[in-house]
């Protein structure tokens, strides 16, 4: 990652779209391998799922994505019925942070990404 400059956006500092692609690949593998949450991913089309992960990470990276709270809410409603709760949300954020650490992103930027991800919690959990 390049040094922080005053004008660069978070998305630029993280490395833009190429960084999102690298992160999706690591992140999605982690999520699928995580026994705490992988049951929510059974039976969904993996290509569609990967595209959604990319949209989510693009947003969490502060990038150009139109991801509305309504989409988040509707998209996760059936998982809430399956028992999706805060512990699962925390596990996803943990995997996201681990992904960025693996990619050598600074703790300061990771905290910013986690903070954006956090803004979706209520919608994801249908609260």
Partner 1 sequence: MTRITFDDQTFVTKKDETVLHTLLRNNIQVPYGCKAGVCQSCLMRCLGNTPPPTSQVGLKDTQQKQNYFLACLCKPESDITVTLPNTESSWLEVEVIEKIELSTNVIFLKLKSKEPLAFFAGQFVNLRRNNDGVIRSYSIANIPNGLHELEFHIRILPNGQFSRWVADELEVGMQLSLSHAQGDCHYVEEKSEQPLLLIGTGTGLAPLFGIIKDALSHKHSGEIHLFHGSRNESGLYFENKLRELTQKYPNFHYTPCLSGENVSEKYAQGRANQIALEKFPKLNGWRIYLCGQPEMVLHTKRVAYLQGASLKEIYADAFTS
Task: Point out which residues bind partner 1 (CB under 8 A).
Answer: 25, 28-29, 32-33, 43, 46-47, 50-52, 54-55, 58, 64-67
State which residue, 67 or 106, has the beta carbon closest to partner 1: 67
State which residue, 4 or 119, has the beta carbon closest to partner 1: 119
The CB density around residue 56, as the number of other CB atoms within 10 Å, is 22
State which residue, 10 or 50, has the beta carbon closest to partner 1: 50
Interior angle at CA 10, CA 66 and CA 53, nearest 5: 45
Question: How many residues would you count in the chain?
Answer: 127
Q: How far is the CB of 52 from partner 1 (least distance, A)?
A: 7
Q: How far is the CB of 11 from partner 1 (least distance, A)?
A: 12
Q: How far is the CB of 107 from partner 1 (least distance, A)?
A: 27
State which residue, 10 or 55, has the beta carbon closest to partner 1: 55
* Helix extents (H) in the chain: 10-14, 16-33, 46-60, 69-81, 86-102, 107-118, 121-124
How deeply is 37 buried, as exposed, middle or buried, from its count of CB atoms within 10 A (0-12, 13-18, 19+)? buried
Q: How far is the CB of 65 from partner 1 (least distance, A)?
A: 5
Hey, what are 42's tokens? 């059974």
């Amino acid at each position: 990652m390049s040094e922080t400059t005053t004008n660069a956006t978070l998305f630029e500092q993280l490395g833009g779209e190429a960084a999102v692609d690298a992160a999706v690949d690591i992140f999605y593998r982690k999520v699928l391998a995580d026994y705490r949450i992988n049951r929510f991913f059974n039976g969904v089309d993996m290509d569609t799922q990967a595209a959604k992960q990319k949209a989510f990470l693009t947003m969490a990276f502060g990038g150009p994505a139109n991801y509305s709270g309504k989409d988040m809410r509707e998209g996760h409603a059936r998982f809430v019925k399956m028992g999706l709760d805060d512990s699962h949300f925390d596990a996803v954020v943990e995997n996201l942070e681990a992904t960025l650490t693996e990619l050598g992103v600074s703790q300061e930027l990771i905290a910013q990404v986690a903070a954006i991800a956090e803004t979706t919690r209520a919608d994801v959990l249908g609260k």
